[in-house]
Chains A and B, each alone.
Chain A
Amino acid sequence: QVQLVQSGAEVKKPGASVKVSCKASGYTFSTDYLHWVRQAPGLGLEWMGMINPSDGGTSYAQNFHGRVTMTRDTSTSTVYMELSSLRSEDTAVYYCARDPSGGEEFYFDFWGQGTLVTVSS
């Protein structure tokens, strides 16, 4: 069965970076795009960007341009999302989500359990 397992909660100071991992299993890793979506406490969902595990190609939301980097390790079927220059507004739960549409129709059929990132001095 398809599973996306994310790394554990993080606490970071303002200005630091955080790297969250998402390990995929139960399907062919290279065939489906993986996206990152975040949710600030009590608020809605915000799309951050996506990665094509096949070739590592990425597309990021302009809101995070220059601060977010998504990478993948095909040997472990893991994708990573690194966010730099953290500020308090980046406190959120970060989700990875699988897109089975081939990066064309964009819908997310499986989600990771979420990783809480807290930014506090």
Chain B
Amino acid sequence: EIVMTQSPLALPVTPGEPASISCRSSQSLLHGNGNDYLDWYLQRPGQPPQLLIYLGSYRASGVPDRFSGSGSGTNFSLKISRVEAEDVGVYYCMQALQTPLTFGGGTKVEIK
């Protein structure tokens, strides 16, 4: 199975400042159709996860444009251009290339 590794484990952020989370996969997530099969989710405290980014860089419906996904192959990142208080929670990347689908261990974003 594909192993997903996220860093950092915890990320203290200042509102209004940018933030970035890294995700690496044990094998390439680049599909033959040219898309990277990598998704990002945010789980706020006490809530189910919500989809932020799919296929590496496509923002899900209703997701603010301060969130962006980038990367290809085995190295990916999620960037928040200006962090807001509502962005706190745990961020997960997930590989969608093959089953079993696997998640990274999560990055906890908290306000400084």
Binding site for A on B (CB under 8 A): 35, 37, 39, 41, 43, 48-51, 54-55, 60-61, 92, 94, 96, 99-106
- 8 closest A-B pairs by beta carbon, nearest first, are A106-B96, A111-B48, A107-B54, A61-B100, A47-B101, A45-B103, A107-B39, A44-B106
Bound-complex Cα distance A53 to B108 (A): 34
Name the residue on B nearest A93 (C-beta): B48
| Chain B binding surface, main DSSP class | loop
Bound-complex Cα distance A113 to B43 (A): 12
Most chain B beta-carbon neighbours within 10 Å: one of A47, A61, A62, A107: A107
Name the residue on A nearest B39 (C-beta): A107
**Chain A interface size range:** 20 to 34
- Is A108 close to B, CB under 8 A? yes
- Is A112 close to B, CB under 8 A? yes
The reply to whether A114 and B96 contact each other, CB–CB distance below 8 Å, is: no
Task: Pick the contact of A63: B49, B92, B94, B100 (CB < 8 A).
Answer: B100
The reply to whether B99 and A107 contact each other, CB–CB distance below 8 Å, is: no
The reply to whether B51 and A109 contact each other, CB–CB distance below 8 Å, is: yes
The reply to whether A45 and B37 contact each other, CB–CB distance below 8 Å, is: no
Residues of A within 8 Å of B105, CB to CB, are 44
Residues of B within 8 Å of A111, CB to CB, are 48-50
The reply to whether A44 and B102 contact each other, CB–CB distance below 8 Å, is: no
Residues of B within 8 Å of A45, CB to CB, are 41, 43, 49, 92, 94, 103, 106
- Is A59 close to B, CB under 8 A? yes
The reply to whether B48 and A95 contact each other, CB–CB distance below 8 Å, is: yes
Shortest beta-carbon distance from A70 to chain B in Å: 13
- Is A105 close to B, CB under 8 A? yes
